[in-house]
Amino acid sequence: MTRRTFIQGGLAVSLGGSVIGAWRQEKLDEAATILSKSTADGEVAAAVLHVRQGQASFTRTFGHASSEHAMFLLGSISKPIAVTALMTLYDRGLFQLDDPVKKFLPPFDGDHRGEVTMQHLLTHTSGLPDQLPNNNALRKSHASLAQFAEEVMRTPLLFAPGSKYSYSSMGILLASQIAEKLSGTDIHQLVDRTVFQPLKMEYAAQGLGRFKLEDMVPMQTDRAAPESGGGDPTAKEWDWNSPYWRKLGAPWGGAEVSAPDLAKFMAEFMEPTGAAVKPETARLMVTNHNPPGFTSRGLGFAVGSWAGSKGCSEQTFGHTGSTGTIAWADPATKTICVVLTSLPAKAVQPHPRDLAAAAVAGAMS
C-alpha cells in the first residue's frame, strides 16, 4: 500500500515502517475495518482508532469524527484522569492512602463510613454504590457535583469497607471532592493544571473547559445506560449531549478528550516521566491493590489482562467507558490502544470498540 493510499484512507502512520510491520499491519487494518463497517452500516455514528508502539502511531477516523482531534465524552475513562489529579496531592504529602475519608469530609461518619479509607474509594471497595438511587432526579434538577456529594455522604453503604469489590462511581466523586478541598480549586481546573497541561493534551477538557458544546462529538443515546437517560425521551435536558451534563464535568464520566491525547495520558503510566505524578506514584497507580478473589484494580485504573484480548499481558492497565470507549496500555509490548466511539457500550454485544481493541491486541501475539 502506498503512502498516498494511507492518507486517502484516513490512516496516519509515522516513524518507522519496520515497527508497523512488527505490529502485523493486517491486524491493524482488521481493527480499522471493524470500525469502518460499523460506521458504514449506521451502527456507529463516529469513531477514532489510535494505536501507538514506541515512536510509531496508527490513526484512523470514521463516520462523523471530523479529525483525529475529535473530542469524545470518555465516560468512565474519566476516572483515572481525575484520580491522577488527586494523586498529585498525594505526591505533595497532603494525604495517605490509609487516611480515613472522614478526616477530610467529617460528615462522612457512622454506619461504618468512618472505616472507609482513600484506598477504598480508589479501588472500588468502599461499599458506596455506583450510582445514587435518586441519580436521575438529581440530573433532572441539574444538581451540582457538591449536591451529588452531599447525597453520597448520606447514602447507606452496601457492605463493610474492604469486605467486597463493587464498582463505584460515587467513590470517585468523593475522592474528587477531597481533591478540591485539599487543593482549594475545583476538579475541572485541577485536572487541567495537573494533568492536561503538563502532558500537553491540547484537545482535552474536564467538562467543556475552553471548548464549546459544538466542538464535541455528539454521543448516541439510544440504548444507553438508564442512569445516563437512555430510553427516556424526556432526558434531553440532562442526557450525555445536554449542555448541563457536558458542562458538569463529572469526575466519574465527564472528561472529553481526543484519541491521540488520551494516548499521551496512557503513555505517562507506561513509561513515567514525572510530568504529572512522580514516576513511583505512576507505577503505584497501575499496580493491583485488591486482595486475591477481588477484581484487580490499581488506583483509578483497571489492571491485568482485563480487556479480555488475546495478546495482552498481565501488566496491561486501562479503562472502558459506558459511552463506548476503551483505552489500554501494555508495558510488555509498549503498546497503547485507544478506541473512541459514539455508540453506548451496552447498545450491542460484542461492541465494535471491543472487537477493534481485540484485533489490535492480536497484532501483538
Residue range 121-158, pLDDT digits in tens: 999 999 999 999 999 999 999 999 999 999 999 999 99
pTM score: 0.93
Q: Do residues 213 and 219 lie in contact, with contact meaning Cβ atoms separated by under 8 Å?
A: no
- Edge-to-edge, what's the strand order for the sheet holding 317-321? 11-14, 56-63, 46-53, 335-341, 325-330, 317-321, 302-303
pLDDT in tens, 332-355: 989 999 999 999 999 999 999 999
Q: Is 211 strand, coil or helix? A: coil
Looking at the domain assignment, is residue 222 inside a domain? yes
Reading the block at residue 170, the C-alpha cell is 460515587
CA–CA separation, 10 and 168 (whole Å): 38
Reading the block at residue 310, the C-alpha cell is 488475546
pLDDT-based confidence at residue 182 (cuts at 50, 70, 90): very high
Reading the block at residue 195, the C-alpha cell is 494533568
Average pLDDT over residues 31-46: 96
Looking at the domain assignment, is residue 308 inside a domain? yes
Q: What is the mean pLDDT of the chain?
A: 91
Looking at the domain assignment, is residue 263 inside a domain? yes
User: In sequence order, what DSSP letters do the residues of 286-338 get, joined into one string?
Assistant: TS--SPTTSPPB-SSSEESSTT--TT--TT-EEEEETTTEEEEEETTTTEEEE
Instruction: Enumerate residues 6+ apart whose C-beta is below 8 A from 179.
Output: 82, 85, 86, 89, 187, 190
Looking at the domain assignment, is residue 240 inside a domain? yes
Tell me the CATH number at 244. Answer: 3.40.710.10
Looking at the domain assignment, is residue 135 inside a domain? yes
Q: Do residues 344 and 221 lie in contact, with contact meaning Cβ atoms separated by under 8 Å?
A: yes
Compare 292 and 3 and report the one with higher pLDDT. Answer: 292
Looking at the domain assignment, is residue 35 inside a domain? no
Looking at the domain assignment, is residue 79 inside a domain? yes
Average pLDDT over residues 157-173: 98
- Other C-beta atoms closer than 10 Å to the C-beta of 213 total 12
Query: How far is residue 84 CA from its own chain's centroid?
Result: 11
CA–CA separation, 235 and 269 (whole Å): 37
- Residue 315 structural domain: 72-362
- Other C-beta atoms closer than 10 Å to the C-beta of 114 total 14
Q: Do residues 95 and 118 lie in contact, with contact meaning Cβ atoms separated by under 8 Å?
A: yes
- Edge-to-edge, what's the strand order for the sheet holding 204-206? 72-73, 255-257, 204-206
pLDDT in tens, 200-220: 999 999 999 999 999 999 999
Looking at the domain assignment, is residue 133 inside a domain? yes
Backbone angles phi, psi at 58, to 5 degrees: -135, 120
Average pLDDT over residues 26-36: 89
Structural domains of the chain, count: 1
Of 83, 35, 41, residue with least CA distance to 62: 35
Average pLDDT over residues 301-319: 81
Average pLDDT over residues 322-333: 94
Q: Do residues 87 and 81 lie in contact, with contact meaning Cβ atoms separated by under 8 Å?
A: no
Q: Do residues 176 and 122 lie in contact, with contact meaning Cβ atoms separated by under 8 Å?
A: no
Instruction: Enumerate residues 6+ apart whose C-beta is below 8 A from 74.
Output: 81, 253, 255, 256, 257, 262, 321, 323, 325, 340
Say yes or no to pLDDT of 8 above 50: no
Q: What stretch of H or E contains 50?
A: strand 46-53
Of 302, 314, 206, 300, residue with least CA distance to 261: 206
Say yes or no to pLDDT of 12 above 90: no
* Rg of the chain over all Cα atoms, to the nearest angstrom: 20
Of 117, 83, 94, residue with least CA distance to 282: 83
Say yes or no to pLDDT of 26 above 90: no
